[in-house]
Structure formats: structure tokens, C-alpha cells
Amino acid sequence: MDFSFAEVLGALAVPFAAKEAVVDGERRFTWAQFDARTRGFAAFLARLGLHPRAERADLANHESGQHHLAIYLHNSAEFLEALVGATRARLAPFNVNYRYQAAELTYLLDDASPSVVVYEGAFAPVLAEVLPRLRRRPVLVQVDRGHGDLLPDAIPYEAAVAAHSALPEANGDDLYILYTGGTTGMPKGVLWRQADIFVTALGGRNFRGGGAEWSSVEDLVEAAIKRPGPRLLPAPPFMHGTGQWTALQALVAGGTAIIQPGATRFDPHTVLDTIERERVEVLVIVGDAFARPLVEALDGSDRHRDLSSLVAIVSSGAAVTSTTREAIARLLPHVKLKDVVGSSESGPQADAQEGRVFVPRPGTLVVSTDRARVLSPTGEAGEEGWLASSGRVPLGYLGDPAKTADTFPVIDGVRFSIPGDRARYVDDGAIEVLGRDSMTINTGGEKVFAEEVESVLCDHPAVADALVVGRPSERWGSEVVAVVQLTSATTDTELLAHCTDHLARYKAPKQIVFVDAVRRSPAGKPDYAWASEVARA
């Protein structure tokens, strides 16, 4: 069955009307209130007359026939309301990185060409600078958080959610757009059918009953009533997939999405306070960039925290290193820690079994290096290929037919998503994820995956964070260089010895550059362009 967001969340709002759907700091919204506000925002959009220009069946995979809505907000109830409200009105919502400066924001908005921009007042100065550069001026909706006057012609968000109008009937073919972070190139808009992203990433499978897709909305609602979803706190920004998807997962299960106060930046003490106060059951993070500050906050506190409600920590987008994993097990022995691998172009693909070995989710497999065949889990172990997904995968990249054909190839009549991670099967059919191909360093004829070296470095007790890049070398063609942030004193000699104890010698860095802080995005994503500049300098 193909479900739209509006169909699923509207059905859940009936039995859970009085339950909290979203907690945003001191603000609390029941399911009935969340449903009414998303319908109100959808009614406002419907009154603008932004009807689809073409239906999905008449379009190529890189094309959109819908009007687009940009969400330029910090984590907030309004972010989730705008996203769901847009889908109710048959507009395609997409995320805006709030860290972008004017030139980057101009590129993104010109690429996506939104008809509506919902933005936070704090971002008004950058947006005002960008608006004259755009090919078309969108309708502006400003969320007021005490940041000054409205931009000219902007509509207050609270006035928009108070609208009333008949709504169009959304369907599973309608689009949901997720822009990539741009860590390996310019940001690209990944076009997902709502029905496909729902099954792949938002709770469209009954994992408590074997993992099959829900056969009806009624079955999903009945299961949620019997066992409601968790009180879940997504610590990463909603402007990236992990934050959005996990917040929506909580809602699709009839749970509650919790947003910590002051969500403009990650503060481990605030997150821990929120877990304690709101009785959070599931915390979502992104690798050591989030996990290590939490460990330090717990280790450095002399007061007892009641974190007994917390049952699971899920890390998506980056794995938690073994040293940090051991610290969490010591500090929170009752909490289960799970790593999930995936991407904007695939959704969640596999769950960690041990280290870099993952148990594949439905539709996840490995295809050959030449992308001509699917590798067999029971075949010859060790053949390297590409981590891939089949079945419910995205349509393509907005406006880019060539990149769409490259990332979403057809093999033996089946369409796949191949985001760019190298992988291979191990003996028991699990998948070892080797690393992103774009961050592979070819040195002296050997191939080194940056993520593998980073993981080993971060397991050293003196290392707070590390990024590994390639640097041009007359002798090796390219040489491995590590950019490292320390927590305590050590030497490059000691770190190199640590690497060669766990890795082949050719994988060890030729040089280690120490920095005060490794640069990452608010979502914990590595800034490899910055690391390359540091290494070359």
C-alpha cells in the first residue's frame, strides 16, 4: 500500500488526541493540537492556489510537478508542523541548512525554486540579502521568536496556522525532498515519493511483526494503540535527515517527539536535563561528535541524574567508537546503544552488529564494483562492491538526470540506490561497510578508507576527534594525513604506533596535524574540505 504522511498522521490523531505529540522546551502540543495546526498551515497554503502542475506519472525521475516549500528553521514544533502541513497541501517540503551564508543559500534556493519559505526571524538578515538575487521571490512566512520586525510582505506563522480552507487529497506519489549536506560536492535535492520514504525510513514496516510493510493504515493505528511509540529526543538538527526522520518515526508510532530547549546548538547538559525532566526513552545522536560530550558531561558531574527512563541511544550517520561505547556502557549500563548506517539517498540500510559489520535491513545488499550484478551473501566472501538498496528507493536528484542515472542505476531490470559506500559480505551474510568511496585515499597503489583510520585514531584515549584525508605526494601519489583534536597530552609517535597496532602499515598516517578543534557540521558531519586545507598547509 502507498500511504501519504497526511493519511497516516491524521489517522493517529484520533485515538491519541489528548496525548502529547510534540514537546518543544516549555511548549507542549497534544496530537489534537498538532493535527489542527498542520491542517491550518495546509489551509493557508491551499488558499495560495499552489496546486501541482503535473502528476507523478507524467514526469521523469529527476522532475518535480509540485510547488516546493523551504523550511529554514532550527529544531522546533514549527519545523514539524510546516513539513507535515506542506504535505497535506500537496507542496513538497525541503530542508535548508541554517548555517549557510548568503552565497550558499542563494545556490540552494535557486536550485530548489521554492514557492514558499518558512523561516526563523533570526535568519531574516541573510534571507533579506539573498531575496534580490533569486530568479523568483517566494511567499515568506516568518516564525516569531523575538528577533525583530517581519521582512517586507512576510506573513506571521501563527496567522498562517489559523487559516481555514478545504484541503486537497494528498497521495503517496507526492514528493518529500531532502537536500544532502554537500560534504562531497554541491547540495543535491533527493526526490522521494512519500510512500517510499514512509516505508524505508519513517516506520512503514511492522518490525515488531517480522518487518513486512503495513497492509493498511488501520493495522498501523491498531498496533500503535496496543504499544505506543517512545518519547524520543532527536538531538541532531532537523535540517538533516537523521533528525527529521527519527522525529517522524516517533510520531508515526503514536509516540512523542521531544525537542530540547535552546536547540540552536548541541549542549550535552541541556540534553541530559531534558532526558531527565521529560522521561525520554530514546535518544538519537550522530556518532562520537555527540556521544563524547555526553560522556564527558556524565563523567564530570557530581550530582546524580535520574536517567532510568532512557532505554536506547541510536546513532545514525556515524558510528560510535569502541572507547566511547565502553564509556556509555559503564555510565548507563541499562541503555542499549545501536549504530545505524544509511544516507539521504537510501534511508537506513543496516544496523550495527560489531564494529563496522552491519546486519542488513530489507532491501539492503551489495552490488559488484562494475555495478553489473548483485553479489551473493553466500558467495565468495570478501569481494568488494557497493552498498546498495532496492525496492523503496528515491526517484532521483532534482533537475539532474545524469547524476540520477549514476546513483540510481538499473541492474537486471531492478532499480537500485548506490549512494557511494564501499562494502562486502562477511561469512555470516552480514555486511562490512568499508567507507565512502569519495573519501578513499589511493596511496602507493593501495586503497585506504578514511573512516577506518579515523575509527582507530578515535579509539585512542587521548584523541577527542579526528579526520583523515589524502594529500598530494611525489612518492606515493597521495599520502594519508590525520587532523587530530586531543583530550590529553600524547605524541604523534604514540598515535602512529597505536595505528600500526591495529592497521596495515600503509594505512597509518604519514603525518598527524594537531588542531584545537576538529570542524564538523551541527549534525556531526565531517568537514573534509577544511581538513584537506589544514593538511596541505
The phi and psi torsions of 4 (rounded to 5 degrees) equal: -95, 160
Give domain status of residue 333, yes or no. no
Amino acid at 403: K
Give domain status of residue 80, yes or no. yes
- Please indicate, yes or no, whether residues 425 and 486 belong to a single structural domain of this protein: no
Residue with cell 597496532: 501
Using CA atoms, how far residue 204 sits from 4, 111, 223, 351, in Å, is 11, 30, 12, 17
The domain boundary, picked from 412, 437, 462, lies at: 437
- Please indicate, yes or no, whether residues 397 and 512 belong to a single structural domain of this protein: no
Cβ neighbours of residue 53 closer than 8 Å, sequence gap 6 or more: 65, 66, 67
Cβ neighbours of residue 32 closer than 8 Å, sequence gap 6 or more: 13, 17, 18
Q: Can you give the pLDDT at residue 283?
A: 98
* Helix-then-strand count for the chain, H and E: 16, 30
- Please indicate, yes or no, whether residues 406 and 471 belong to a single structural domain of this protein: no
Residues of the chain with pLDDT under 50: none
Angle of helix 194-201 relative to helix 5-12, nearest 10 degrees? 60
Contact call for residues 526 and 467 (beta carbons, < 8 A)? yes
Contact call for residues 202 and 242 (beta carbons, < 8 A)? no
Q: How many residues does the chain have?
A: 537
- Please indicate, yes or no, whether residues 398 and 433 belong to a single structural domain of this protein: yes
Q: Residue 209 has what DSSP assignment? A: G
Give domain status of residue 367, yes or no. yes
The domain boundary, picked from 161, 183, 208, lies at: 208
Nearest partner of 283 among 307, 308, 313, 321, judged by Cα = 313
- Please indicate, yes or no, whether residues 42 and 129 belong to a single structural domain of this protein: yes
Q: Can you give the pLDDT at residue 429?
A: 84
Amino acid at 166: A
List the CATH number of the domain containing 486: 3.30.300.30
Give domain status of residue 324, yes or no. no
Q: Can you give the pLDDT at residue 159?
A: 96
Rounded CA gap, 195 and 1, in Å?
Answer: 8
Rounded CA gap, 121 and 73, in Å?
Answer: 9
Contact call for residues 181 and 189 (beta carbons, < 8 A)? no
**Count of C-beta atoms within a 10 Å radius of residue 308:** 11
**Count of C-beta atoms within a 10 Å radius of residue 502:** 15
Question: Under DSSP, is residue 357 helix (H, G, I), strand (E, B) or coil?
Answer: strand
Rounded CA gap, 327 and 435, in Å?
Answer: 25
- Please indicate, yes or no, whether residues 400 and 492 belong to a single structural domain of this protein: no
List the CATH number of the domain containing 42: 3.40.50.980
- Please indicate, yes or no, whether residues 135 and 187 belong to a single structural domain of this protein: yes
List the CATH number of the domain containing 408: 2.30.38.10
Contact call for residues 73 and 238 (beta carbons, < 8 A)? yes
Give domain status of residue 401, yes or no. yes
- Please indicate, yes or no, whether residues 465 and 367 belong to a single structural domain of this protein: no
Angle of helix 77-88 relative to helix 5-12, nearest 10 degrees? 120
Rounded CA gap, 281 and 212, in Å?
Answer: 25
**Count of C-beta atoms within a 10 Å radius of residue 451:** 21
For residue 513, the enclosing domain spans 444-536
Give domain status of residue 136, yes or no. yes
- Please indicate, yes or no, whether residues 384 and 486 belong to a single structural domain of this protein: no
DSSP bridge partners of 233: 283
Q: Within the chain, what is the greatest distance between any pair of CA atoms?
A: 69
The domain boundary, picked from 389, 422, 437, lies at: 437
The three grid cell numbers given for residue 345, joined into one nine-digit string: 539517498
Contact call for residues 388 and 418 (beta carbons, < 8 A)? yes
The phi and psi torsions of 358 (rounded to 5 degrees) equal: -125, 150
User: What residue spans of 350-491 are helical by DSSP H?
Assistant: 401-407, 450-458
Rounded CA gap, 71 and 350, in Å?
Answer: 29
Give domain status of residue 292, yes or no. no
Rounded CA gap, 79 and 525, in Å?
Answer: 21
Amino acid at 66: Q
Give the N- to C-terminal CA distance of the chain in Å, as an integer. 55
Contact call for residues 473 and 479 (beta carbons, < 8 A)? yes
- Please indicate, yes or no, whether residues 110 and 173 belong to a single structural domain of this protein: yes
Give domain status of residue 53, yes or no. yes
Residue 95, classified by CB atoms within 10 Å of its CB into exposed (0-12), middle (13-18) or buried (19+), is buried
Contact call for residues 411 and 371 (beta carbons, < 8 A)? yes
Q: Can you give the pLDDT at residue 185?
A: 61
Structural domains counted in the chain: 3
Rounded CA gap, 414 and 459, in Å?
Answer: 40
Residue 9, classified by CB atoms within 10 Å of its CB into exposed (0-12), middle (13-18) or buried (19+), is buried
Rounded CA gap, 15 and 9, in Å?
Answer: 11
Q: Residue 15 has what DSSP assignment? A: T
- Please indicate, yes or no, whether residues 414 and 499 belong to a single structural domain of this protein: no
Contact call for residues 3 and 176 (beta carbons, < 8 A)? no
- Please indicate, yes or no, whether residues 41 and 108 belong to a single structural domain of this protein: yes
The H or E element spanning position 71 is strand 68-72
